[in-house]
Amino acid sequence: MIGAGLLTLPVSSVDGEATAFIDALFTATTSVCVTGLVTLSTASHWSLFGKIVILFLIQLGGLGVVTCVTLFLVMANRRITLNERVIIRESYGLDTMEGMVKLIKKIVKGTLLIEAIGAFFYCIYFIPEFGFLQGLWKSVFNAISSFCNAGMDILGETSLAKYKNNAGINFNTMALIILGGIGFPVWWDVIHTLKEIKHKRIRKRHFFVRLTLHSKIAIVMTLILIFGGCFTIFLFEYNNPMTMKDLPLMNKLMASLFQAVTTRTAGFFTISQDKFTDASIMISMILMFIGGSPAGTAGGMKTTTIAMILLTTMSFAKGRSETEVFNRKIASDNVRLGLVVVTLGSIVLFTAITLLCVTENTPFLNVAYEAVSALATVGLSRNLTPFLSPFGKLIIIVLMYLGRIGPITLVVALSNKASSKIGIDFPEKKIIVG
């Protein structure tokens, strides 16, 4: 609300006039929820002050509430309480409460370092094109937005479309998106394992084996989604005259790879989304719904959640009662929680799509794409966002907010543990399924 209030001020817009509150609220929400859907052009509507507010909100949203609050408490020299340490431990999936403040500091330092490196590589291309100051500003904005998976840019109305043949900008953006979306726990685990190798405590060939189960699933699932998505989009768009037909082979592969990466909750695009075939749009919606990995800058149902449900299905089909992967057994509580997350996310999504079908006079596929994009905090649109009705904007705002806080947080907030019937063991019965 503070961000929305600042964005309504005349100083926040280029023309010096106050921005409508609904549009300011929409922009503040899409920024702090690192989504990227916009009703007003980020490049042309907002002044430098407005863009700085947006960038600040993106950075806060990317780091997450837990990280930002912890960092603020540390800077204020306030001791972290036991309850706050429990929240941090649960947020990052840690096994211990030791060294949490040190971890938060490393996350912030690592974030700023990666964003600085990303900005440097953008400068190579943007400074010659826009001049030093403008090129530097656009590089910093794009780097932070990319790493935080926000998908907002100040390059113009067509995102990165004019750079679709520029390998440097494409791969720099994809690297930032993937690093942000893989999740901070995976960072920590990979860095810790590399240090073990450096000090010769373990051998290089044991690198993957020594990673935690969470990291293994997150990394493998990320690779499957990126390259699987790239392959299918490449097939569906190869001869599409509206997208890739006239591109050289390597550029087709790069454009397909970029689409597969950006749908993992980033929101940048090199090809307009309303030009893709329906098959590619369906693949994109699946990738958006799955999203990135937990405790990172990405949204969606999360890679580990979907992997866990798929593994459970496979185990059941093989006649096994337990969910097993990488010679480990996944706790049944984890599996149930994963089912709750996907079920709740699906209910929210289908409800929102139904409401948008009532409020918006547009094809169903556009509405569905918009809703999935908002809930998964992606930011891709088939050119519907600027034309949303006021009620439609409110629906998308709610979706972005729910998508960012996550289904698990929503379940915990709505649950009433005091009313649960502890100690009562009811008779077990079976019902017909299927």
pLDDT in tens, 254-274: 999 999 999 988 889 999 999
Q: What pLDDT sits at residue 428? A: 81
- pLDDT tier for residue 418 given thresholds of 50, 70 and 90: very low
Q: What pLDDT sits at residue 102? A: 76
Per-residue pLDDT at 94 exceeds 90: no
| Domain housing 49 | 2-411
Per mean pLDDT, which of 43-47, 137-141, 181-185, 330-334 is the most reliable?
Answer: 137-141
- pLDDT tier for residue 409 given thresholds of 50, 70 and 90: low
Q: What is the mean pLDDT of the chain?
A: 87
User: Would 431 be classed as within a structural domain?
Assistant: no
- What whole-number distance in Å separates Cα of residue 297 and Cα of residue 177? 9
Query: Which element (helix H / strand E) includes 341?
Result: helix 332-359
Structure tokens at 433: 């399924």
User: Would 423 be classed as within a structural domain?
Assistant: no
Task: Please state which of the ranges 84-88, 318-322, 387-391 shows the lowest mean pLDDT.
Answer: 84-88
Q: What pLDDT sits at residue 232? A: 96
- What whole-number distance in Å separates Cα of residue 5 and Cα of residue 24? 7
User: Would 137 be classed as within a structural domain?
Assistant: yes
Q: Tell me how far apart the 2 most distant CA atoms of the chain are, in Å.
A: 74
- CB-CB neighbours of 271 under 10 Å: 24
User: Would 420 be classed as within a structural domain?
Assistant: no
User: Would 416 be classed as within a structural domain?
Assistant: no
Tokens 């989604």 belong to: 225
SS3 category, 54: helix
Per-residue pLDDT at 407 exceeds 70: no
SS3 category, 402: helix
Residue type, 187: W
User: Would 326 be classed as within a structural domain?
Assistant: yes
User: Would 434 be classed as within a structural domain?
Assistant: no
User: Would 342 be classed as within a structural domain?
Assistant: yes
Domain count, the chain: 1
Per-residue pLDDT at 420 exceeds 60: no
Q: What percentage of the chain has pLDDT greater than the value 90?
A: 51
